[in-house]
Structure 1
Amino acid sequence: MSSPPNNVLVFGAAGAVGRAAAVSASKRGAKVWLAMRDTSKSIPALRETDEKEAGFVRIQADLTDPSSLKAAVSKSGATIAFVYTIHQRPDHMKSAFEVLRDSGITNIILLSSFSVRPSAEEAKNFDFIPRAHAEVELELIASGVKHVAVRPAFFNSNMLWYREGIKKGELELFAPESRFDFIATEDIGAVVGTLLTTPSAWLPENEKNGKSIYLCGPKIMDRKEALGVISRVLGKEISVKGTGEEGFWEQMQHLPRPVAESIFAGTKRNIPPNTEYEEGFWVSAVENVRKYAEREPTSFVDWVKAHKDEFEQ
């Protein structure tokens, strides 16, 4: 295995995946530059002492501001970057990818979505979440930069949508029987950290300029079962009742309507006997976590224990 690049550029470190990716890449020997719109802001769950110990360097950069991207690449000397998908950009991030490429970035890791299936070309015709990610992936492909589109499925942290009901001890769910895989953001970040530090190991020359990697959590279960896990960890009863479509829209009113509509469609697609987790496909996506994170995937119960305070805030 080749030695890690000296410098890697991580966008979105304020988010759970970006933060975990930065920590993972640093532990693997990379010099990590945290690309931030506002470098004075605190980063959730990253203490200042830990940031200094890891040797992170904050650098001003905005994926919607080409001049800042050019300056960040020049100052950091990075040749590889982790970026997240920005929804509803008129050019689907085309200008960002081109500036990064022209400034010296030769490899990009993109945080995409499990919903981009079977290909970006086909998914661009689907509902909002797969379409938005697919359109960005297609622009990344068109840029010619070597890349990996990381496509994780249902984030454990999505259960924080129901925090208020969990605190009250009762909540209503649309289609509580719908089943998901529950992947930890820390696992996604660990995968990204490996990809950032060993690009030659995951992108053989014969794979054109890029590839996609699907990631899933280690157990498929419905949200009622997941809430049972949360109930046991918190040591409190949580009553779960089904609700109709009106209840769903009320719960998701904090989200943009197109995003909520896409979540609604995805929930319906996973009501048994229907599923997006065909057994062979799901098994291979879980194995990808083991392969790239180089450890066992995090169980939902362990994740809840680590994030217990977030459910009680």
Structure 2
Amino acid sequence: MSSNRKYDNVLVFGPTGDVGGLVALEAHNRGAKVWLAMRDITKPIPAIPTDVEKTGNFVRVQADLSDAASVARAVAESGVKAVYMYIVHGGADFGRAALQVMRDNGVEYVVFLSSYSVKGEGNALRALPPTNWIPYEHAQVEITIEDIGFPYFTTLRPAWFASNYFRTGLDRSAKPPKAILIAGYEDKRLFDNVTPEDVGAVGGAVLVERPSDRKETIWICGPDTCSPKEGWELVKKVTGRTDIETILVPAEQFIAATVAKGIPQVLVDSLLSSYERWQGGYEAEPEFKVGMANIAKYAGRAPMTFVQYLEAHKAEWAAI
């Protein structure tokens, strides 16, 4: 095991995603050699500029968290002791096979992208029911990491991503696209709009410099809470996409349309359960207050506001 908490050689799964790419970039900026574990090593990595990757200390390696043999090869080739990973939705073993070969090949420290909806530790995690799939599934991975016996473990528990408006809240089959609001929740203060940039910065920071010698749970929350309706009004105002129409749909219609896109119904049902649980807002929760402070604590800068995030991503909105 490491005699200190600094890692200068790390492996990042999922760098083509919003958060994974930013974790990799932050780890690199903090001086680490970063192995980019990808299913397809020819794919572009949006978060890492091409010139930065070419001149920096990055290495692409083929690996898939659902394929334990490829994970074992990547860990053995890289020789890393610290790994960042995300959840593979629908995996039957909650990542156990991949995690076991990581441990067998010398990994001592895991940073896992979990969810704000996971509450508690220890026995509280094991008591979460599978009927609420999002927290249950993430909790099972946390439990697996602990059961396998990694000496060190950090779990990131971010709340509502600012990127969800662009990634999942938009019906792009229409031209111009339409924003979908679920009837009954449109005016509830459900979202904190934490940015992938902030989650990635925290994740990359703690991947390179382990925060403690025990399991560390890091809540990550954005500084702005708003309702879905308010959020979409800001999207249109800041990005200039005033042509986007907001459509109010019943929950049943939203579920059917989302499942039709290939998202498992258990995930959609769990999302609506979260809406129901937090429809009064979660600003009063202790995790929320800690989560806002954690961005400055670990990333060393103030949280990015939702407006700042939208300003930075205007080009993406203009292109749809």
**What pairs with 1:138-153 in structure 2 (closer than 5 Å)?**
138-145=143-150, 146-153=152-159
Counterpart-to-counterpart distance in 1, 2:70 and 2:269: 34
1:203 aligns with 2:205: no
Go from structure 1 to structure 2 and tell me whether the alpha carbon gap of 1:155 and 1:167 turns closer, same or farther (over 3 Å shift).
farther
Contact residue 171 and residue 180 of structure 2 kept, 8 A: no
Q: Normalising by the residue count of structure 2, what TM-score does the alignment of the two structures yield?
A: 0.88
- For 2:246, the equivalent position in structure 1 comes to 240
Contact residue 113 and residue 157 of structure 2 kept, 8 A: yes
Counterpart residue type for residue 306 of structure 2:
F
1:268 aligns with 2:270: no
- For 1:181, the equivalent position in structure 2 comes to 192
**What pairs with 1:110-189 in structure 2 (closer than 5 Å)?**
110-119=112-121, 120-145=125-150, 146-160=152-166, 161-164=168-171, 168=176, 171-174=179-182, 175-178=185-188, 179-189=190-200
1:216 aligns with 2:221: yes
Comparing 41-50 and 147-156, the one that deviates more: 41-50
Structure number having the greater helix percentage: 1
Contact residue 130 and residue 137 of structure 2 kept, 8 A: no
Q: Which residue of the other structure, out of 289, 293, 304, is the alignment partner of 2:299? A: 293
1:12 aligns with 2:14: yes
Counterpart-to-counterpart distance in 2, 1:84 and 1:61: 13
Q: Deviations over 1:155-214 (max 9, x none)?
A: 111111233479637544112123211100111110011111111xx113xx3xx23211
Q: Secondary structure at the match of 1:43?
A: coil
Go from structure 1 to structure 2 and tell me whether the alpha carbon gap of 1:124 and 1:143 turns closer, same or farther (over 3 Å shift).
farther
Q: Deviations over 1:89-130 (max 9, x none)?
A: 222111211110110111000111111113322334451111
Counterpart-to-counterpart distance in 1, 2:273 and 2:126: 20
Contact residue 193 and residue 221 of structure 2 kept, 8 A: yes
Q: Secondary structure at the match of 1:82?
A: strand
Q: Secondary structure at the match of 2:116?
A: coil
Q: Which residue of the other structure, out of 258, 267, 272, is the alignment partner of 1:259? A: 267
Contact residue 19 and residue 189 of structure 1 kept, 8 A: yes
Q: Deviations over 1:46-105 (max 9, x none)?
A: 332221122210011222222222221222121100011112222211121111011011
1:36 aligns with 2:46: no
Query: Matched residue pairs, number?
Result: 304
Counterpart-to-counterpart distance in 2, 1:137 and 1:235: 41
Counterpart residue type for residue 197 of structure 2:
E
Contact residue 167 and residue 311 of structure 1 kept, 8 A: no
Distance apart, 1:225 and its partner CA: 1.2
Counterpart residue type for residue 169 of structure 2:
Y
Distance apart, 1:239 and its partner CA: 4.6
Gaps of 5+ in 1: none
1:305 aligns with 2:311: yes
Q: Secondary structure at the match of 1:123?
A: coil
Counterpart-to-counterpart distance in 1, 2:8 and 2:120: 35
Q: Deviations over 1:227-267 (max 9, x none)?
A: 12111112243553533223322442322211111112112
Go from structure 1 to structure 2 and tell me whether the alpha carbon gap of 1:12 and 1:170 turns closer, same or farther (over 3 Å shift).
closer
Counterpart-to-counterpart distance in 1, 2:178 and 2:64: 41
Contact residue 12 and residue 35 of structure 2 kept, 8 A: yes
